[in-house]
Amino acid sequence: MSIVKQLYLLSEYELIKGCIEQNPHTQRMLFEQYAGKFMSVCLRYSIDSMEAEDMLQEGFVRIFSNLHQFKFEGSFEGWMRRIVVNVCLKYIQKRKLPFKDIDGESASELHIQPYIYGNLSEDDLLKLISNLPDGYRIVFNLNVIEGYSHEEIAVMLGIEASTSRSQLVKARRMLQNQIIKLEKIAV
């Protein structure tokens, strides 16, 4: 029986319990189930795929080490995702992330129609986001994709909430400009 099929036979409770009991088979199943998603998370925060691999590795080590602290309050995936994001932020903080305005970027936002970006694939979106400057990209990821508020981001990154807001607006603006350029090229 393949691991994927076995996953359906295991409840989340059994999966967690098996991992806490250091069952290697269950641990492997947990890895197989979530590694792809968390790799995508790490790629959005990292500067390259090598760093993303390191982030994912450390993320899973922390998940397995701290699994016994999961109190079954809220989503299990959300709990693991927070750990992975925290690991990513730790890597980013080592690089002393600059939160500076990029010259020539206006804070005013563009209003683009959904049909313009609706054709973009997920990989295209990932590439566009990865091209954002570090500060923009991190705040954009944390706010738009992970759903953290500016106040939470401010605490996580050690910046002002207003800085987070301005970085987001500028990130969004830069992203939209890139999308429009892509669309023109396509036309």
Partner 1 sequence: MQEFDKYIKDNLYNHESPVPAGLWERIVPEKDKKKPAPLPFWKNGYFQSTILAIITVGIIGSAYFYTNKSTGENAIKIKELSPLIKLAILNKNATGSATGVITKTKENRSDFTTVETKNNDSKTNTIHSVCTHKSNAQETKLKMYNATTADKGNAQLLADNSFVISQSERINTFTTNKNNRRLLNESENENQKFERGNIVLKSWNLPTDNYVTKTLNDSKNTITTITLPNNTTKNWFVELYASPEYSSKKVGISSSNYFYTQALDTAQKLSAGFTVGIRIAKNLTNHLLLKSGIQFNQINERFRYKQFDTKNSTVVTERSYINNDGATISIKDTSTFIQTGYRLMTSYNTNKSIEIPVIASWEAGNNKWHFAANGGIIANIASFYEGKTFDNNLNTAPLSAKEQNGVLKSAINLSLYGGVSFLYDIGNSFDAFAEPYCKYGLSNSSNTSFGFSQRFNSLGINFGIRYKIPRSSIKL
Number of amino acids touching partner 1 (CB under 8 A): 42
* Tokens 């995936």 found at: 77
Q: Is 82 in the site for partner 1 (CB under 8 A)?
A: no
* Closer residue to partner 1, CB minimum distance, 8 or 121: 121
Amino acid at 49: S
Altogether, the residues listed in the chain come to a count of 187
User: With binding defined as CB under 8 A, does residue 51 bind partner 1?
Assistant: no
Residue 115 interacts with partner 1 (CB under 8 A): yes or no: no
Question: Cβ 66 to partner 1, closest distance in Å?
Answer: 10
Interactions with partner 1, residue window 6-45 (CB under 8 A): 17, 20-22, 24, 27-28, 31, 35-37, 39-40, 43-44
Q: How far is the CB of 101 from partner 1 (least distance, A)?
A: 19
Q: Which spans of this chain sit near partner 1 (rule: CB under 8 A)?
A: 17, 20-22, 24, 27-28, 31, 35-37, 39-40, 43-44, 49, 53, 56-58, 60-61, 64-65, 68-69, 71-72, 109, 112, 114, 117-118, 122, 125-126, 129, 144-145, 147, 172, 176
